[in-house]
Amino acid sequence: MAPEPLATRLAPYLEVFRSRRVAVVLLLGFSSGLPLALTGGTLQAWLTVEDIDIKTIGLFSLVGLPYTLKFLWAPLMDRYVPPLLGRRRGWMVITQLALMAAIASIGALSPRHAAAALAVLALLTAFLSASQDIVVDAYRTDVLRDRERGAGAAVSVLGYRLA
């Protein structure tokens, strides 16, 4: 008996990547990764170009702390439900709108003239982004079927990295 062609054997595994739910997870992964990139390497590069003191740039690395501490407020986001859109979508809309405002505000500042305000906004952006990560992970678990969860995790990380 001849072995099955590779395409036939892989078909059940690849089928899950054609799901609209998995495509949405890819986009949500991208939206989660973008603020991380902005508050990480991009912010440090901007501070360097603006000739900010290296010690100050080092302090700005603390902006990433909310990503480490997000487990502290994750239960609160699961417990409280924003009005209208429900638990997951409501928090996603809130964090997305707040992220847009925070990132736009960062872009309007000059690191030389408003370093403290920039630090506060960068920290707020990281907090909102970490909060969005919490919600996106929970949403992914809610909407994907059991057989789609592995692919969902993979495309979420892909979207995160593409950002």
Query: What's the pLDDT score for residue 58?
Result: 93
CA distances from 85 to 38, 89, 94, 120, 128 (A): 28, 6, 10, 29, 18
Res. 1 pLDDT band, cuts 50 70 90: low
Q: Give me the mean pLDDT over the 106-116 stretch.
A: 94
The total number of residues shown for the chain amounts to 163
Res. 77 pLDDT band, cuts 50 70 90: very high
Query: What's the pLDDT score for residue 148?
Result: 84
Question: What whole-number distance in Å separates Cα of residue 43 and Cα of residue 57?
Answer: 9
The string of pLDDT tens digits covering residues 82-106 is 988 898 999 999 999 999 999 999 9
Confidence (pTM): 0.87
- The answer to whether the beta carbons of residues 112 and 48 sit under 8 Å apart is no
